[in-house]
Amino acid sequence: MTKIIFRKIKADCKNKCLIVYYDSVEDQPIGGGPSSPRACKQIIKINKSNENVKIDLEKIARKIWRKTTTIPYQNYHELVAELIQLEQKCSKDSIFLEYPVNVYNFMDFNWNDLDDVIKTSCDGYDSISIEALDSYIELLYEDLDEKIKGSCLIFKLISNCDCQEYFARNDTLLSALSRVFREDGKKSIDLSIFIAGIFGCLSKYRDFQFAITKHRVGSTCLEMIYFEVLRTESWLREINKSITKTENRTEDEIDQSTTAMNKSINQARSNGNFNEERLISERLSIVQQNLIKKQNTFFRYSLYILLNISEDLQLEFKIQSKGIVMILGKLLERNNQELLLIVILFLKKLSVFKENKQQMQEIAIYKNLSSLLYLDHNILVLNTLKLIYNLMLDHDIRLFYIRVGIFPKLVSFLSKNRYASNVISILFLISCERKYLDIFKQHLVINELMRIILAKIDCQTILEKLLVNLACDQEIAKLLMEHKNFKEFSRNTIESNRLEALQLIRNLSCHRVRAIRSMLMAEINVLIESMMIIANDPQQNIRLISMILFEYTSILTNLCASSSNETDWFEIIKRYSILDFLKRYSQKTIDNQNDRNIFQQSLSSVVLMFGKMIISVNVIKISDDQNKLIDFLLENKTIDFFLNLINVNQENDAIVSNSVYCLFAIVKQSQGLRKKISEDSKLVDYLIELMYDNNYKISTMCTYTMDLISMEDQKLFNRIRNEKFNAYNSKWLSIVQMDRSLEESNQQMLEDMFIYPDLFLKIDSLNDSGSDNFSDENFVQDNLVLNQ
């Protein structure tokens, strides 16, 4: 057997392919010598059928990973990163929808805001090489300026060459960096940025994360982040104090030497353009503004490290217990988009757990998210939508977002395919509560949803579930029906047997609207034929068959209840052999208990459908031959079949109830058959017995059926009247009978006590005394003790 050891993936721009390098090792028999690994490579060609079509990178990566055996799952992100690099090198204009979110771990950081610091720190070092690493490490033991220079050189080295593994194994380097980070990080923000960047490069790869956890870099990052947040808050408090003092002064007291900035503030106030954030920004000195920019960079790198190492759940719980949610809530107020992206990614990861969501709700993080949807940053907006979805599982947060007017912005995102799936998931949560369905009553919303479902984007299933909820409202159902392509969609749904889409049609069929009824009645033949095909398909899972069959029969049942007299249901029953289909389906045996429950539910719906079809038969229309329906029922032994079905499924109230309803429909629609039915003692006895059933539907339906049967026979009428009285008053009659029996029993016991007094006294003394003497004196004494 061959063992494959993955080495690396490389993008080959010249041949427009990916090259996977790996070692192949042949397993030797027991006792044989070890075999040497053989270096191999696999070439993966990336074909584009159309250069103008946008490509989803994650789909390509998943497809490659599934088909190849040389790339382990832990290197999946590396595969996606190489795909990005291949596209960036080989084409001038990238045609990808956007970079996948998880690929953010492999995207290069933007170092532009550190150019000045890097130039100053690396002055005198024209070339940087790994051979001089020891000299760089020695700088970490000098004064603060030399430490900054050494960390800068190491940072440039690790970011420009493929030496992460060497760095991760160099314990001397990591110990020195972690010590300097812990002891001197608060003294210089530049030093903290460079060291965080070094560990950030290592945290990209899961194989090197041990170097971070071993030296407790994560806890140091949290401590440094908290320190910088507190420092910023102290600045803002001082600025707010100065603003308060300035506003309390009169115009005459304003010093002329400091009016340049204050005049601009007053002018902004007079024009109505006063902005508190802008005022604070103007009050900040240039040094403080530069420091805030560096803080944002440091926060970004530190959170990047914490986000990567939190892939380990135990580490994530530790990070969460140290107040990371509170820190992220503070950082969410910053206006740096790259920092906001890391914050949102972290919050999204934490929001999977209920405890974290409760903490986010307590500090009102969700109130700062809706404004992020208006930023021009695709990945940030996409992840914000995902975070909002996780939080909107809570009813209170869902209500807040609806009240602040997030719905119009969500609707505007429907036109962008990159956001469609997440937006539809959020809309589905909103639609789960019926009181919010009114906001969907817009042609624009319905048209966009229909466009997406006809375009067959990846979010088909959740979109169909959304439409299922929306179809519960009659006005929205009308809007759906008015769409020009809905008829085509409904026909494709019936032919494809998609469960969620069939649920949508079932909800539509519940509304007694002429347009909906007419469209579905035009597809009645297709519905029945599809139902027959899916029920007889041996390749399908019985669970799926039962669920789909339930939807078909529910649609047909609703159509029977709302159809006009023009539909000849008796002809449909005969043409498609509905009764024979019911008999065959009821004879199926299911071993699995869960599958059996779903099967019985579908069987109950088939029985109800047949009863609705019988009750919907227009007997006036076949008045030329009144015996057609009677002959059909007698010929197929319909009554005997339903009695047997009731007997077999006595424990299932739904099947019994619907079977009795079918008997009621048969008796009601065939007056000439009632005389014969009244003579059938088996049916009458069965129905009388079911009249005493605890299930209200069963007992009531039996009562109605017996009323129809008794109209043909006076003797049977009297019997049924008495049985109805007994059934209706059975509870009270049983209580009266019980009281009468109890009274007779007590009277007999009283008489026995006078006849055999000693016997009863001795029995009582056995119960009330632990003494061995069972005399009357002991008995009286014990009773006195008990009564005290």
Q: What is the pLDDT of residues 665-707, one digit of tens each?
A: 888 877 767 777 767 667 788 888 887 788 888 888 888 888 8
Residues 718 and 739 in one domain: no
Assess whether 715 and 742 both reside in one domain: no
Virtual torsion, Cα 700, 704, 705, 710, nearest 10 deg: 130
Number of structural domains (the chain) is: 3
Residue 39 belongs to some domain of the structure: yes
- Is 190:117 a contact under the CB 8 Å cutoff? yes
The number of beta carbons lying within 10 Å of the beta carbon of residue 131 is 7
605/685 same-domain check: yes
Report the first-to-last Cα separation within the chain, whole angstroms. 89
Closest of 645, 689, 681, 649 to residue 663, by C-alpha: 645
What is the span of the domain harbouring residue 15?
A: 2-106
Long-range pairs, 582-587, Cβ under 8 A, ≥24: 582/606, 582/607, 582/610, 583/641, 585/535, 585/549, 586/645
pLDDT at 427: 94
620 and 715 housed in the same domain: yes
Is residue 757 located within the same domain as residue 696?
no
**Which residues are CB-contacts of 556 (< 8 A; sequence separation ≥ 6)?**
524, 527, 528, 531, 609, 612, 613
Which DSSP helix (H) or strand (E) runs through 166?
Answer: helix 164-169
With a CB cutoff of 8 Å and minimum separation 6, the contacts of 1 are 26, 27
Whether residues 707 and 749 share a domain: the answer is no
Q: How far apart are CA 516 and CA 572, in angstroms?
A: 20
* Three-state DSSP class for residue 711: coil
Q: Hey, how many other C-beta atoms are within 10 angstroms of the C-beta on 249?
A: 11
The last residue of a domain, from among 73, 106, 139: 106
- On whether residue 522 sits in a domain, the answer given is no
Query: Helix axis angle, 378-391 relative to 337-350, nearest 10°?
Result: 30
Instruction: Kindly give the parts of the chain with pLDDT less than 70.
Output: 1, 27-35, 47-55, 74, 88-126, 161-162, 242-286, 563-566, 618-627, 672, 678, 680-681, 726-788
d(CA 182, CA 176): 10
21 in any annotated domain: yes
pLDDT at 410: 92
Tell whether 675 is covered by a domain. yes
Q: Is residue 120, in this structure, part of any structural domain at all?
A: no
For the chain, the farthest-separated pair of C-alpha atoms sits apart, in whole angstroms, at: 124
- CA distance linking residue 489 with residue 491, whole number of Å: 6
Residues 668 and 774 in one domain: no
Q: Which positions ≥6 away from 206 have C-beta within 8 Å?
A: 74, 311
Instruction: Annotate 224-258 with DSSP letters as a single string.
Output: HHHHHHHHHHHHHHHHHHHHHHHHHS-GGGS-GGG
- Which of 723, 753, 772 corresponds to the end of one domain? 723
Q: Which residues contact 670 (CB under 8 A, 6 or more apart)?
A: 629, 630, 633
Residue 418 inside a domain? The answer is no
Q: Does residue 697 sit within a domain?
A: yes
Give the model confidence (pLDDT) of 65-95 as tens digits: 878 888 887 677 778 777 877 776 565 443 3
The contacts of residue 7 (CB under 8 Å, 6+ apart) are: 21, 22, 23
- The CA dihedral of 768, 773, 775, 777, to the nearest 10 degrees, is -70
- Whether 659 contacts 697, CB under 8 Å: no
The whole-angstrom separation of Cα 382 and Cα 387 is: 9
Q: Are residues 663 and 686 in the same domain?
A: yes
Tell me what pLDDT residue 257 has: 40
Whether the Cβ atoms of residue 368 and residue 332 lie closer than 8 Å to each other = yes
Rounded CA separation 69/143 (Å)? 51
pLDDT of 645 reads: 92
**Domain identity same for 650 and 764:** no
pLDDT, position 101: 44
Same domain, 707 and 746: no
Determine, yes or no, domain membership for 533. no
Q: Which of 69, 87, 106 is the last residue of a domain?
A: 106
Give phi and psi for 481, each to the nearest 5: -65, -30
Same domain, residue pair 715 and 752: no
